[in-house]
């Protein structure tokens, strides 16, 4: 299996899930090829019930697509708090 590296940016209160090696609010995460978005969130310790806005390479990914969204080398992932209108 090959290794993939992707950039993960953590917004607002989600910075508590960033790896220890992260600088600022972003981290380069190395994983094996074939990793899905749900696998990465589990690895980072993000609880399943955590509400978040997930943006992969500029595209919003709905939570029901996490198990079938595969991550590739060079991907740019942003984990943000959900947008709330008042």
Q: For 3-80, which CATH superfamily applies? A: Beta-grasp domain (3.10.20.30)
Run means of pLDDT, 10 residues per run, the chain, 86 residues: 85 91 86 85 91 95 95 94 72
Which of helix, strand or coil describes residue 37? helix
Q: Enumerate the domain spans of the chain.
A: 3-80
pLDDT at 51: 87
For Cα atoms 71, 76, 79, give the angle at the middle one, nearest 5 degrees: 90
The pLDDT assigned to 31 comes to: 78
Q: Output the pTM of the full model.
A: 0.88
Q: Cβ-count burial of 84 within 10 angstroms (0-12 exposed, 13-18 middle, 19+ buried)?
A: exposed
Tell me if 82 sits within 8 A of 53, measured CB to CB: yes
Instruction: Quote the DSSP letter at residue 36.
Output: B
pLDDT score recorded for residue 83: 74
Give me the pLDDT at residue 22, please: 80
């Amino acid at each position: 299996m090959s290794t993939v590296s992707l950039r993960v940016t953590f917004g607002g209160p989600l910075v508590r899930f960033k790896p220890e090696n992260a600088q600022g609010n972003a981290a380069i995460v190395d994983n094996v090829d074939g990793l899905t978005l749900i696998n990465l969130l589990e690895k980072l310790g993000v609880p399943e019930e955590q509400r978040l806005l997930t943006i992969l390479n500029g595209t919003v990914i709905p939570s029901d697509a996490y198990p079938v969204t595969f991550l590739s080398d060079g991907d740019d992932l942003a984990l943000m708090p959900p947008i709330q209108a008042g």
